[in-house]
Amino acid sequence: MEYVVKNIWSEIDNGKIMDFAVGYKKFLEVGITERVIVTMLEKEAKSKGFVDITGVDELKLGQGFYLNHRNKSFFMGVINEDLKNGLRLLGSHIDSPRLDLKQQPIYESEGMALFKTHYYGGIKKYQWVTMPLALEGVVYRKDGSKLELSIGRGKDDPVFTITDLLPHLAAEQMDKKAGKVIEGEKLNVLIGSIPLVEGDKDPSVKKGILAYLSKEYDLDEEDFLRAELEILPNLPPRDVGFDRSMIGGYGQDDRICSYAIMKGFFDCENKDSNLLACFFDKEEIGSNGDTGAQSRVLEYLLEMLIAKTGMSASPLGVFFKSRGLSADVSAVDDSSFDGVFDKYNRGRMGYGPIVSKYSGSRGKYDANDASAELLAYVMNVLDENKVMYQFGELGKVDLGGGGTIASYLSQLGMEVVDLGTGLLSMHSPFEVASKADLYMTYMAYRAFLEN
């Protein structure tokens, strides 16, 4: 029989889909950085009675636990049975492409003060100019005190921006290749223009800004060396389309899957299996560093779980018996950019989360290539629970590709396959997703944990 994939909107109650998206829009609006999302997840886990695994000597079966890993990545779960039976794991990431401030960011030129930035993750640099931007992150003062900065998103806040050249003078710029139209060193953020006048010294806009930062926040220029500050698109999430069927907003890669995991995990009614939800940092720059999926944080967590439940198992033994979904976004076909997808193997908007057997690029290089056995298992779970989903490859074979945390989870010994929502305009300041696909992604994650 022919394999047919159906459009979700025509098959299920549209009210359920619309209702589910309301909470997601709030999550996306508040959860603007990985640090903020960790705080939100921790608050949510605590309110449901979960305990900080580092703060207890013993963990009882059925007791929810969490690990806040350096305020950048987050893990929560429940051990319901012998760890030797493995885990059901869902893993997403909570970092998104953005601009980070350089360590010595402030300078002045032509009567303006600006921030130097270094972009984080794969962006099209030309998309980040001439729009309102927000500043978010943390700074430590010399005395050790911590300052959390969030400027731009409040109703009366000032915003920041990166300028572009007027078309009248852009003849040379317009002849450049897209990657060179705006170069990395031109992503400079406008932050002020009133000079400080001190005696006979030359008036200085930079000093004007430093005086403001000192007065308002007790910050010195040196404090920016002890900081992680991000420049982000300042566009609140909005419904897209006359029919409000889509959501537009920044950071949906991969906060849409993160939200679906959080909801699926808390709504799941499985009291018999071991469940773990993971929210990693640093995916967008290769899952590196102490808070990325290539770090050994999962082994560390497993060591604690084994010790605190008093079970006899090894982390490796647990991983080898575990199954996981790598919950990261994929792309849906965009007819305005015809020809980049294989039309027989691409994701489409409104047809459900996309299962990707493999990722990688140019001949599956660097891919996690899930087994037929795992696909049989996952498809059976989804079908039994009436989850609508589709299979898709990220673009034509020789055009490009990408990786997810799937390969790092599978290197630990787990069976893992990618399953996540498809986006339009991925990695742009305003990514677009279907509310129907969001809802079905949640249903898929919940079904995977429950069955």
Give the nearest distance from C-beta 421 to Mn ion in angstroms: 10
Using the CB atoms, write b or e for 268-307: b if 16+ within 10 Å: beeeebbbbbbbbbbbbeebeeebbbbbebbeebbebbbe
Give the nearest distance from C-beta 426 to Mn ion in angstroms: 7
Give the nearest distance from C-beta 330 to Mn ion in angstroms: 9
Q: Nearest 5°: phi and psi at 96?
A: -135, 155
Taking the least distance from each CB to Mn ion, the nearer of 213 and 256 is 256
Taking the least distance from each CB to Mn ion, the nearer of 79 and 406 is 406
Following DSSP, what letter does each residue of 258-322 receive, concatenated? Answer: HHHHHHHHHH----SS-EEEEEES-GGGTS-STTSTTSSHHHHHHHHHHHHHT----HHHHHHT-
Give the nearest distance from C-beta 37 to Mn ion in angstroms: 14
Distance CA 178, CA 238 (A): 28
User: Is the separation of the CB atoms in 127 and 232 below 8 Å?
Assistant: no
Question: What is the binding site for Mn ion (CB under 5 A)?
Answer: 253-254, 328
Give the nearest distance from C-beta 99 to Mn ion in angstroms: 15
Give the nearest distance from C-beta 103 to Mn ion in angstroms: 25
Give the nearest distance from C-beta 392 to Mn ion in angstroms: 15
Using the CB atoms, write b or e for 38-60: b if 16+ within 10 Å: bbbbbebbeeeebbebeeeeebe
Distance CA 76, CA 67 (A): 6
Taking the least distance from each CB to Mn ion, the nearer of 328 and 333 is 328
Give the nearest distance from C-beta 93 to Mn ion in angstroms: 6
User: Is the separation of the CB atoms in 365 and 374 below 8 Å?
Assistant: no
SS3 state of residue 147? strand
| Count of beta carbons in the 10 Å neighbourhood of residue 62 | 11
Find all residues with CB under 8 Å of 447, minimum gap 6, and list them. Answer: 381, 382, 384, 385, 387
Distance CA 30, CA 24 (A): 10
Give the nearest distance from C-beta 335 to Mn ion in angstroms: 22
Strand partners, 247: 239, 433
Taking the least distance from each CB to Mn ion, the nearer of 21 and 406 is 406
Taking the least distance from each CB to Mn ion, the nearer of 188 and 258 is 258
Distance CA 298, CA 274 (A): 14
Taking the least distance from each CB to Mn ion, the nearer of 328 and 415 is 328
Taking the least distance from each CB to Mn ion, the nearer of 205 and 349 is 349
Taking the least distance from each CB to Mn ion, the nearer of 223 and 437 is 437
* Chain position carrying tokens 């993971």: 278
User: Is the separation of the CB atoms in 159 and 213 below 8 Å?
Assistant: no
